[in-house]
Amino acid sequence: MALGQVGARTEGDVYQGLFFWRQAADLLRPTSLVERVILEHDAAAGVDDVAVFYRAPGVNAGGWQASADYFQLKYHVDNRDAYSADALIDPSFISAKVSLLQRFYKAYARLSAQGRVPFRLHLASNWRWKDDDKLAGLLREFDGELPPKFFTDGAKGDLGKVREKWRAHLSLEVEPFTAFARTLRFQLEHFGRRDFKAYVYATLQAAGLRTPSADRAACPYESLAQQFLMSGQHSFDEAEFRTLCQKEGLLLGGSVRSERPFAIGVRSFMRFAERLESEVDELVCVSSNFDGRHLTDEGSWEASTVQVRSFLSNQARLRGEESVIALECHGSFALLAGWELSRNSGVRAAPIQKPNLDVWRPVKDASTGGSWAAPQMIEKNADADDVAFCLSVTHDVRVDVENYLLSAGAPPVRRLVVLSPEGGPSPQSIKDADHAYQLAAALPALLMSARPNRAARVHVFFACPNALMFFIGQQREALGRIALYEFDFGIERDGSYQLSFSLPPSAKAVAAHQEATP
């Protein structure tokens, strides 16, 4: 085998090993539902790189409970190609006699025959989707599930054509194909070289495991994964895994629960290969109300908001000690969490910022030298009282906001105010917790100066990290009346904005909250 091929295979093994350790770390968490993790699971040939099994009732998979997850990992050392709907049914794409989709279906049929249901089948790769692929832009961006339209689109529609081509490729009738396709998850561009390793290490530390210092090239986790495969010891429950970690000197002293701060979580959607219930002490999950970023037919923003507020109101422990909050949720809920846990409430909660799981706890009066750039004012309707704010932090959304404000049903606004951090919007525009908190603390004055009167409502459109949204919410006493809007980033519906909810809550919402809170 050529040296380049050896290097490629070795690097792929490294990422498979790191992915395994990230999943296995949950075996050490006190609240985890993970029951067993297997590296190279023979029973799931085709989707066998890592398998994760859960104790009853399983993990929330977005409206149903999954008892197991099976992962096929495809790591490529270059970016010479990309995935597409057609590539998944082309054997030559993987230099094989059968396609990736056929491999996944064979694994599905085998696992179903063994009674291992319900489960999900995942493809994770560092390659991306082709830009012009009809399916790529419609996959749910946070967990890679096929969109509802994939199953309902007419046979001549863009997604309908993909569905029927896949179905013909597998020679399946509609019902069995649908059952199979609903288990599929596609997460591409997953293995960022630095970010992925940093995220895995942060996860291991949070589970109570030692990680190598940055100045050491050797990583025990990478070499141990290879040893597991060679020795045949590659399946672990909690007791077996803890014994292994203790034997290898990987366990930190003391328990995870005693060493880390009290942690809560707010979840409104499910992220790929992550289980927030394993990472926090208390969790509120309203994902059953949502299909992706959008409400289900039975879902309700109002009911979800009441549930989140009730959960946060009952967290008395937050007022007695420093704590952290994980925000696997819409930005609107992140701001709501800050609203309920404002600094004036006596709560000392700090958000966890991904990908490195950093706790963003700002230092009072710290200075980072960063602030909002000069606001851009765009006058709209002189007869209106309300104003709109466009917070372009991670990327520029001004055009999307302006298009929405021109659409039927959009609120009339006197002006649109466009805000970005100094230096412009980018994924790296927020330096740290102090910078984010300074931006949040400066926002109320900008809102006030743009309002024609104190009663005017501000319609907030945003592309921001959830940590920043949390800090903005903590300014509740100075924000005034605001309405929050969520964008259809995955183009799952209309590719535009939808109102989530307004603050302060309406009298009806307050009454529902009081009724739901003991």
Q: Is the pLDDT of residue 276 over 70?
A: yes
What per-residue confidence (pLDDT) applies to 287? 87
- 28 vs 270, residue with greater confidence: 28
Question: Rounded mean pLDDT of the chain?
Answer: 87
Q: Is the pLDDT of residue 499 over 90?
A: yes
d(CA 362, CA 481): 26
What per-residue confidence (pLDDT) applies to 257? 46
Q: Which ranges of 236-382 would DSSP assign to H, the alpha helix?
A: 238-247, 256-259, 301-313, 331-340
- 510 pLDDT tier (thresholds 50, 70, 90): low
* Contact yes or no for 268/283 (Cβ under 8 A): no
Query: CA-based diameter of the chain, in Å?
Result: 75
What per-residue confidence (pLDDT) applies to 38? 96
Pairing of strands 119-125, 282-285: unpaired
* Residue closest to 282 by CA, chosen among 235, 316, 321: 316
- Return the minimum-mean-pLDDT range out of 143-157, 223-237, 296-310, 442-456: 223-237
What per-residue confidence (pLDDT) applies to 10? 63
What per-residue confidence (pLDDT) applies to 232? 76
* Contact yes or no for 123/104 (Cβ under 8 A): yes
Full 3-state SS string of 355-397: CCCEECCCCCCCCCCCCECCCEEEECCCCCCCEEEEEECCCCC
Full 3-state SS string of 152-181: HCCCCCHHHHHHHHHHHHHCCCHHHHHHHH
What per-residue confidence (pLDDT) applies to 230? 76
For the beta carbon of residue 233, count every other beta carbon within 10 angstroms: 12
- 1 pLDDT tier (thresholds 50, 70, 90): very low
The predicted-structure confidence for 317-365, as pLDDT tens digits, reads as follows 887 788 999 999 999 999 999 999 998 888 889 999 876 778 999 986 5
d(CA 191, CA 201): 14
d(CA 72, CA 121): 8
pTM for this model (two decimals): 0.80
Residue 345 CB contacts under 8 Å (≥ 6 apart), including other chains: 319
Q: What is the mean pLDDT of residues 421-448?
A: 94
Pairing of strands 34-39, 235-237: antiparallel
d(CA 462, CA 482): 13
d(CA 238, CA 439): 43
290 bridge partner residues: 295
Please tell me what DSSP assigns to residue 137: G
Q: How many whole angstroms from its chain centre is CA 255?
A: 27
E strand or H helix at 491: none
Percent of the chain as helix, strand, coil, to the nearest 5: 40, 20, 40
d(CA 158, CA 85): 11
Rg (CA), the chain: 24
Crossing angle of helices 433-450/466-473, nearest 10°? 50
Domains parsed from the chain with CATH numbers:
36-187 (no CATH), 256-362+512-516 (no CATH), 376-506 (3.40.50)
Q: Which two tokens stand for residue 364?
A: 């009072």
Nearest-5° Cα angle at 187, 135 to 167: 45
The predicted-structure confidence for 150-164, as pLDDT tens digits, reads as follows 999 999 999 999 999
Classified as helix, coil or strand, 498 is strand
E strand or H helix at 229: helix 220-231
d(CA 265, CA 384): 39
- 399 vs 60, residue with greater confidence: 399
d(CA 330, CA 497): 13
Q: Is the pLDDT of residue 214 over 60?
A: no
Q: Is the pLDDT of residue 235 over 70?
A: yes
- 325 vs 507, residue with greater confidence: 325
The predicted-structure confidence for 31-87, as pLDDT tens digits, reads as follows 889 999 999 999 999 999 999 999 998 887 867 889 999 999 998 877 778 999 999
Torsion angle of alpha carbons 19, 20, 21, 24, nearest 10°? Answer: 130
For the beta carbon of residue 493, count every other beta carbon within 10 angstroms: 16
* Contact yes or no for 55/35 (Cβ under 8 A): yes
Q: Which two tokens stand for residue 55?
A: 């104790």
Q: Which two tokens stand for residue 38?
A: 């297997």
Report CA-CA distances (Å) from 317 to 137, 324, 340. Answer: 42, 11, 14
Left, alpha or beta for 409 (phi > 0: left; psi -120 to 50: alpha)? Answer: left
For the beta carbon of residue 125, count every other beta carbon within 10 angstroms: 20
